[in-house]
């Protein structure tokens, strides 16, 4: 019996260590204070509501974009931040002008179709060409019929068509545009995936610079009807568009808390403030960026000062090619401060999280020990954990330099929000206040735990280790398409 009792005691100790891992005892009380502060005084919902009504869209380089930068700066200042700065950058940017797309079987009597330009399309386009169905628009679709699209307009589905071959890659719209261009297409029409005629915008450029062919989006119903027509007859399309491209000025907004005992190590937490111009960008990325702002408010209100420094960053230009985060990383490489960044946490459309995610398996114990306390406070937080990597958000420039990255995850967008991604229905009414609070409180706990941990086991990857990490996560092909694969095989 004594042996059994001893064994049970040992199992209990092991289970406790697994659950609590790297957590510090004082985090229990501190996380409870964070929880109460957010539930009682969160300003994320109200500040996003004000910004949506008084600013509107937050397109980088526009007057509205500048208003959003100033609004954010002043909001952080009102929370008591004095170590606060703009990080200006100047880059080539794009904005839409006019568009008219007509399609039909009679080249002399084409009918207008509801459409929107995809970003980085040429400044001026006026052409009429045959339309051909290129399926999912992945490499395999073109290899199967190499000459089919040459000198014509490719019609491709944004997602993966039902009945597609297992393993068909789900490429980004910019990657599908690059593939179409490579195979000789003179234009691309992208069929959106949500129903009810919702149109999507966003960049069609893998580089953030102008593309050589026009790229437009049409609604799902219109697109699927065209696919059926193309089985019976030839179709033609006339595309007439004007756009603007030129150098613009924008500013990231950065607020810093100096670490109490390891100030030369820092955690960067960010979300992109900018949005597209079809609506106010309440979901993409109001819920992410205003969550980060409210985490900053929470830390200031509770006078939290973890061991490591924290930089709260509101990035501009994400939608047009990760412009702000690229500028941040470039500046960090120039002044060597990139070596101080121990983790990058990215909040892009993060909502109502149930767990945490990271690029580094070594962080499992730390992340789940933080999550164990969060779960003890509120069992709706399930403390799920995932490891992986992806592209096309502000963590990417950090990841490509070997910096561990992660964030809150495992939730879902507010009810009815998914079809409005990059669309004209992305408005404030979609935001769920309670779910937004959940992002702030669990995100704040994750941030504090990482910044205050005795040890962060996830290290900067060397250049070779970064290459192997990207290969493992099947990111070589999209990075090659984007011209960002810097390694020679």
pLDDT at position 481 over 90 = no
Same domain, 331 and 453: yes
Domain finish residue from 222, 244, 266: 244
Position 56 in a domain: yes
Position 236 in a domain: yes
Q: What is the CATH number of the domain that holds 334?
A: 3.40.630.10
- Check residue 301 and give its pLDDT: 98
Position 150 in a domain: yes
pLDDT confidence tier of residue 5, bands split at 50, 70 and 90 = very low
Same domain, 225 and 314: no
- Check residue 20 and give its pLDDT: 55
Same domain, 286 and 400: yes
Same domain, 218 and 121: yes
How large is the average pLDDT for residues 219-230?
Answer: 98
pLDDT at position 442 over 50 = yes
Same domain, 145 and 170: yes
Range of the domain at 104: 96-244
Q: Which residue has the tokens 């954990």?
A: 385
Please tell me the distance from the alpha carbon of residue 51 to that of residue 64, in angstroms, as a whole number: 10
Q: What is the CATH number of the domain that holds 132?
A: 3.50.30.30
Same domain, 365 and 233: no
Position 185 in a domain: yes
Same domain, 66 and 100: no
Position 4 in a domain: no
pLDDT confidence tier of residue 74, bands split at 50, 70 and 90 = very high
Same domain, 346 and 201: no
What tens digit of pLDDT does each residue of 301-357 get?
999 999 999 999 999 999 999 999 999 999 999 999 999 999 999 999 999 999 999
Domain finish residue from 210, 244, 278: 244
> pTM above the 0.85 mark?
yes
Position 100 in a domain: yes
How large is the average pLDDT for residues 26-33?
Answer: 98
pLDDT at position 256 over 50 = yes
- Check residue 323 and give its pLDDT: 94
Same domain, 436 and 365: yes
How large is the average pLDDT for residues 247-257?
Answer: 97
Same domain, 234 and 263: no
Distance set, CA 107 to CA 115, 134, 188, 450 (Å): 19, 21, 18, 61
Q: How many residues does the chain have?
A: 489
- Check residue 2 and give its pLDDT: 47
Number of domains in the chain: 2
289, 359, 358: which is closest to 317 by C-alpha? Answer: 289
236, 263, 207, 253: which is closest to 93 by C-alpha? Answer: 207
Position 129 in a domain: yes
Position 69 in a domain: yes
pLDDT at position 12 over 50 = no
How large is the average pLDDT for residues 395-410?
Answer: 98
What's the chain's average pLDDT? Answer: 95
Distance set, CA 239 to CA 166, 187, 213 (Å): 34, 9, 11
Same domain, 180 and 311: no
pLDDT confidence tier of residue 207, bands split at 50, 70 and 90 = confident
Same domain, 123 and 150: yes
């Amino acid at each position: 019996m004594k042996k059994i009792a001893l064994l049970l005691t040992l199992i209990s100790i092991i289970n406790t260590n697994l659950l609590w891992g790297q957590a510090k005892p004082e985090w229990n009380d501190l996380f409870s204070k964070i929880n109460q502060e957010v539930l009682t005084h969160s300003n994320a919902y109200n500040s996003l509501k004000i910004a949506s009504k008084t600013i509107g869209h937050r397109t980088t380089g526009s007057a509205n974009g500048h208003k959003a930068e100033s609004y954010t700066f002043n909001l952080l200042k009102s929370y008591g931040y004095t170590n606060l700065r703009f990080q200006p950058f100047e880059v080539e940017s794009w904005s839409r002008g006019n568009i008219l797309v007509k399609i039909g079987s009679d080249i002399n009597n084409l009918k207008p179709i509801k459409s929107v330009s995809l970003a980085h399309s040429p400044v001026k386009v006026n052409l009429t060409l045959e339309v051909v169905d290129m399926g999912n628009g992945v490499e395999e679709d073109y290899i199967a019929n190499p000459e089919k699209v040459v000198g014509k307009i490719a019609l491709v589905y944004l997602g993966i068509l039902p009945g597609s071959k297992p393993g068909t890659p789900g490429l980004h719209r910019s990657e599908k545009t690059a593939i179409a261009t490579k195979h000789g297409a003179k234009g691309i029409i992208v069929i959106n995936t949500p129903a009810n005629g919702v149109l999507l915008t966003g960049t069609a450029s893998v580089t953030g610079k102008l593309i050589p062919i026009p790229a437009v989006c049409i609604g799902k119903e219109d697109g699927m009807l065209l696919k059926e027509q193309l089985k019976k007859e030839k179709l033609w399309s006339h595309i007439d568009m004007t756009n603007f491209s030129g150098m613009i000025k924008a500013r990231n907004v950065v607020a810093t808390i100096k670490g109490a005992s390891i100030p030369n190590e820092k955690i960067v937490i960010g979300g992109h403030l900018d949005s597209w111009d079809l609506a106010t960008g309440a979901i993409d990325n109001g819920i992410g960026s205003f969550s980060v702002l409210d985490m900053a408010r929470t830390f200031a209100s509770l006078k939290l000062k973890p061991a490591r420094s924290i930089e709260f960053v509101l990035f501009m230009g994400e939608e047009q090619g990760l412009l702000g985060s690229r500028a941040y990383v470039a500046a960090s490489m120039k002044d060597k401060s990139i070596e101080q960044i121990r983790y990058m946490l990215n909040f892009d459309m993060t909502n109502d999280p149930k767990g945490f995610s990271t690029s580094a398996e070594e962080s499992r114990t730390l992340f789940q020990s933080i999550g164990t306390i969060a779960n003890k406070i509120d069992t709706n937080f399930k403390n799920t954990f995932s490891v992986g990597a992806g592209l096309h958000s502000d963590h990417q420039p950090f990841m490509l330099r070997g910096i561990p990255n992660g964030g809150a995850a495992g939730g879902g967008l507010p009810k009815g929000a998914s079809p409005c991604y990059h669309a004209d229905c992305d408005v404030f009414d979609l935001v769920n206040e309670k779910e937004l609070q959940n992002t702030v409180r669990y995100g704040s706990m994750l941030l504090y735990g990482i910044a205050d941990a005795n040890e962060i086991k996830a290290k900067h990857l060397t250049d070779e280790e970064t290459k192997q990490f990207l290969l493992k996560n099947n990111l070589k092909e999209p990075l090659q398409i984007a011209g960002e694969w810097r390694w020679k095989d």
